Amino acid sequence: MKRRRSNTENLDSLPTEQPNPRSADLDTKSSLEIACLINAEDATVAATVARALPQTAKAIDWIAESLANGGRLIYVGAGTSGRLAALDAAEIPPTFNTAPTMVQAIIAGGAGAFKRALEANEDSESSAVREIKKRRVGKKDVVVGIAASGRTPFTIAAIRSARRAGAKTIAITCNPATELENAAELAIVMETGPEVVCGSTRMKAGTAQKMALNMLSTGAMVRLGYVYGNLMVNMHRSNSKLAERSIRIVQQALGINKDEARSAMQRASNSMPAAIVIAKAKVGRAEADRRLKAAKGNIRKAIAQHG
């Protein structure tokens, strides 16, 4: 596929690429002044992200529905955006004990781009289309394209390909009225403006993107019932620290002491969801497992079930 040229290649008009007048003399500042200036700019990000919360909430609904029906959440990005996407995807299985395929990331340049910059790959539309086809993206999936500029050819091509395949498509960008926004069905636009270091969108734009990704993945997992109250009850117990944390979580969920929590976990073969359902619904292990399966892992729904 030939690379498509458009006016989006002109960076001059993008707010994220403009010089920031508040940091014009950055190189004359002391270390404390530099830190204060960066901190002051960072303090504006949360309010910017807040203005896109209605779109973010709609995206969470789409993702939760997709995952509940056997679909996948697939992030696509290049450079900083791709690395942030890969980080979020990698942290979902240990946090919520999900299959590694449930939340995935496609990064321009492949796995090697996570460790070192391979920014030239962001121009390859054909490789983006290949990745979407290789993963057999379809109607059950949600594909999220992330690009601060909103003009990254790799990400735009992936979103267009995913949309043609019938997937729900979402754009996350830090500039308004971009080609990525137009390519997707839903756009989360967070206008972070000029960076402290001109054009370095790993800064405010990167922070905004990380915040948005946190909300999308965590929000979807909460909607699926992988959180009980605000407790991380589906966490993967992969080391001694996490095993101890699981005991504390069961303590908090059931309002019992540590010894009682250990006994509850033993009765449930170290399954936090089963331990909570057994105690709350006053049922045996087999019934707890049946309820959890019927509720697709949603603990609150499993507790509320009748035999």
Query: Catalytic amino acids?
Result: 91, 122
* Residues recorded for the chain: 307
CB atoms closer than 10 angstroms to residue 164: 12
Contacts 24+ apart (CB under 8 A), 231-238: 232/95, 232/96, 233/272, 233/273, 233/276, 233/299, 234/95, 234/96, 234/97, 234/98, 234/272, 234/273, 234/297, 235/94, 235/95, 235/96, 235/97, 235/272, 236/93, 236/94, 236/95, 236/97, 237/270, 238/94
What residues have CB less than 8 Å from 195, skipping those under 6 apart? Answer: 16, 20, 41, 201, 203, 204, 205
Distances (CA, A) of 128 to 11, 132, 152, 286: 22, 6, 11, 46
In whole angstroms, give the CA distance from residue 265 to residue 249.
11
The answer to whether residues 169 and 185 touch, using CB atoms and an 8 Å cutoff, is yes
